[in-house]
Each structure stands twice: as C-alpha cells, then as structure tokens.
Amino acid sequence: MEAAGGDEDGRESTTSWTNPWIAEYKRRQAMLTKMRPFEVIVMMRDLNLTSYAFSKNAEELQAHVLRYPEIGHSQPFNPDVGDPFGIELARLLANLLASVKSLISGQRAVLRDIWPKLGKELSGFEQGEYTTKRLAVFEADEAKLLEELRNYSQHRFLPYLNPAWQFSQSVPAAEFQFRLHVKPLLKWDSLTAVVRKYLEKHGDSIDLIPIIGRYTAAVREFYKWFWLKVEETMKSERVEYDAHVAELMVYGEEVFLAPDWIREVGGEPPPGWNGVRWRRRSLAEIRQRRWALGHKSFRGIIVDGQGVAVVGDHPWTQILLHVP
C-alpha cells in the first residue's frame, strides 16, 4: 500500500506499507509450493488429466460404435471419401491412440521422478514390482499393437475400421465386428517385429474393438494401483505437507475474514448487523480452531560428533501472528 504526501519544499514523497499478515500468508504459501509433495501433487494432477482424456476418448469411441445400427445405414456413402460413420470412427480412434501414448509417457515421467534411475540402471521398484504388475495386467501383444497403431497414424495414415459380419465355426450366429485390415500395416517398414508377428497370426483383419475394451479396463486397474503406490511412497512427506497446509488454511481464515454478504454483488448487511461484534466473535472462533489444530514440526533428530542427540531445524515454524 502506498500513500502520497508532500514535504516542506512542496515536493511529493511516497511512503509504502506492507500488510504483515497477508505478507506472511504469501510467504508461507510460497514455501508450500517449493516442497516436494507439492511437486508430486502437480505431476499426479497432470497425469490424472491425461487419464481422464484417455477414458473419455474410449467412452466416445464405444458410444459411437454402439450407434452403428442406428446411423450407419442411413447416411449417404461416397466411395471417394468414405462413409460418414467410418470417418468419424477413424477420428475417435485417432484421439484414443494419441491419449494412449500420452498416458504411457506421462506415467513413465512420474515413475522416473519418484523412483529415479541409478545411473543407467532402472530403480529396483521399476525393475521389480512395477514391471511385474504391468505384465500381469496388460496383454503385452495387444498393448504393443495399440502403441504401433498410434505410431502408424502419426507417420502414415489413420487406421480405418471396416464394419462387417463375421462368421466362424465356433459361433453359430454371425457376429458384427469392426475389423482392422492388417495389410497396410504389414507394408509399413517401421512396424516392429513383435507386432508384425502378432498381426500375421490374425489373417487379413483383426477385430480391434474388444482389444480396446480389454486395454481400457487394464489401464484403469493399473492406474489405480500406480496411484496408490505413489501415495504409499510419499506418505510421510505428504503427512507433513498436509499439516502445514491445514495450519496455513486456518490462519488464512483470520487474515481474509469478511462477512458473506460483502462478497455478493450489491450485497447489503442484514438489518441490525453489528460489524464489530461479528468480527470479534468470528476471530474468537477461528483462533479456537487454530489452537485446537496446533503446530506440527517434522524436524528429525540428529546426533552430533559428541554423541548428543539434537533436534534438527525446519524452515516451517509455527505461525504466531494474529490479526487485530
């Protein structure tokens, strides 16, 4: 806050004043954003956004497939362009494949941040428990096929799914499927050997929708497991962080105390409202909550060279300020 005035010579002078309670709140807020748990929270928020995009893309693709009997036969077909239903299906598939890659890359980034490599070696968690769970949840060939379809769509063309009735000796009635022709993929020089071998076993085409369904279910299971593992690893640091957040939040109630009506556009105080009495009572209630919450300090104990145990220092000290 600045105030202008004048001196004896008529020259203007400016004095400034900083609200100490708001300044303390902002200082503590900045401390929280520099803590390790906050970094992990931001990473997991971004990963969750990627997971949401993947899930919604899978839902929209499945919803479009289910509409085929309704809209597939009623739309005009242009052999030079393709039918509108198939074109939209290709677009939805492209969205799904892109989000598959984003989710894989995002999860790997979080993994390597929390369980970093040791030189060129993967962490024990990534080599062990993580890989074991991933192989148990995902059907390896199907997962690699979807990754390769994403690469193919990026470097060549969007995969096109053809609606067709499928007949087989094992199923007495014909089954309607959306099949992917494998020949264009097999002509692609960059196709990995593993996926090439997998596609060659499936003849001229492959029913892709069930593969997407199984992969989507596996992603949900694996993502939930991974999220819990991150929480488990970060638990002690997160407990400390949450304690500091709670202390700052209740302090912020005191700093930014204002009646509800003042936040409304054109708000007016209720009849007979006594601002002094309301503020005194509100501050008393907030300070009672601050007292009940207390202060938690996770400073640790170290032993000096003489064998004496000493409580360590921590930058987060108790918030002692009170707003008058």
- Please determine, for residue 4, whether its predicted confidence score (pLDDT) is greater than 60: no
Which pLDDT does position 290 carry in this prediction?
Answer: 95
CA-CA-CA-CA dihedral for 50, 147, 214, 107, to nearest 10: -40
How far is CA 255 from each of CA 20, 206, 289, 292, 324, rounded to the nearest angstrom? 10, 63, 14, 18, 10
Write down the pTM of the prediction.
0.79
Residue in the block written with tokens 């995969």: 159
Direct distance between the N- and C-terminal alpha carbons of the chain, in angstroms, rounded to an integer: 18
Give CA–CA dist 295/108, Å, rounded.
36
Burial of 318 (0-12, 13-18, 19+ CB in 10 A): exposed
Which pLDDT does position 310 carry in this prediction?
Answer: 77
Q: Would you say how long the chain is, in residues? A: 324
pLDDT tens figures, 179-206: 888 999 999 999 999 999 999 998 888 9
Nearest 5°: phi and psi at 144?
Answer: -70, -35
Mean predicted confidence (pLDDT) in 46-67: 92
Instruction: Report the 10 Å Cβ neighbour count for 300.
Output: 10
Nearest 5°: phi and psi at 265?
Answer: -65, 120
Average predicted confidence (pLDDT) for the chain: 87
Mean predicted confidence (pLDDT) in 301-324: 83
- Please determine, for residue 173, whether its predicted confidence score (pLDDT) is greater than 60: no
